[in-house]
Amino acid sequence: MKVAALFLGLLASAVAAQEYPGKPVRLLIGFPTGGNVDVVGRIVAQKMSEGFGQQVLPENRTGAGSIIANEHVAKSAADGYTLLVVSGAFVTQAATMKKLPYDPVRDFSFISTLVTYPLVFSVRSDSRFRTLDEFIGFVKSNPGKVNYPSPGMGTLYHLAGELFVSMAGIDMQHVPFRGGSEPLTEVRTSRAESFGRSRLRPSCARPRFRTCRPSRRACRATRRTPFPASPVRRACRARSSSGSTAR
């Protein structure tokens, strides 16, 4: 895995003055198991363990859109033995929240980007909606009655959802959760009509969800598409990423 190799090299150079690691390393993940950040973190932890010849232990410390995990790492010893997988939420929270229990710049040493991925708009595979226009029309006819979930307040998914709501001229209610797997469950059980998700998902999720085709094309932010010019197209052009930091 090229990303893990790069990660190992950068981390090793940062602690070249000492024998590292001389004990197991903790890799904190601020979201529950099954979500994008958790999947990335566990893959990286496995590859790091193989490369180091020492255990790298993934640890889910969830809550507040990863702020709890971020704070824990910020207050840990700066010895390279407590690492953090960060997501797009780390950046959006720093930009939108007046007060955080840490300094997002001074309290962290950023190591590497691990993965980037686009966000897409999805509904259940048996949903009544076949196009994004159908979904928008339904929400306009039922203002405030349709919910959309996200992995937490201030996360990129939350902000992307609010941008979509604003630019589409609709009224939807945001329901924050502790991680990325819970919103998927909400839509699967019909408690929510739709959700924004990344293209990085476990294969078991694919048969149960369908991406509204116009929205999916709009979300391919790296190239132009024939999707008609509209506020919705601009709203859907969102990407997220996961990276690694140390104290």
Buried-state track 146-161, b at ≥16 Cβ within 10 A, e below 16: bbbbbbbbbbbbbbbb
CATH number at residue 83: 3.40.190.150
Length of the chain: 247
Which three-class secondary structure state does DSSP give residue 8?
helix
Gyration radius of the chain's alpha carbons: 19
Please determine, for residue 149, whether its predicted confidence score (pLDDT) is greater than 90. Answer: no
Nearest-angstrom CA–CA distance, 170 and 185: 24
pLDDT band at 228 (very low <50, low <70, confident <90, very high): very low
**73-124 confidence digits (pLDDT tens):** 999 999 999 999 998 889 888 988 889 999 999 999 999 888 887 777 777 7
182 domain-assigned = yes
pLDDT band at 11 (very low <50, low <70, confident <90, very high): low
Q: Identify the domain boundary among 55, 83, 116.
A: 116
Are 108 and 136 within one domain?
no
Instruction: Give the residue, 175 or 208, on which the prediction is more confident.
Output: 175
The mean predicted confidence, pLDDT, of the chain is 76
* Number of independent structural domains in the chain: 2
Q: Can you tell me which residue has the tokens 């090229």?
A: 2
Are 167 and 223 within one domain?
yes
Model pTM?
Answer: 0.67
**Beta-carbon neighbour count of residue 138 at 10 Å?**
15
Q: Identify the domain boundary among 85, 116, 147.
A: 116
Q: What H or E segment, with its residue span, contains residue 69?
A: helix 67-74
Confidence (pLDDT) at 13 = 54
**182-219 confidence digits (pLDDT tens):** 767 777 776 666 555 544 333 333 334 454 443 333 33
Cis peptide before 228 (omega within 30 of 0): no
Nearest-angstrom CA–CA distance, 179 and 182: 6
Please determine, for residue 139, whether its predicted confidence score (pLDDT) is greater than 70. Answer: yes
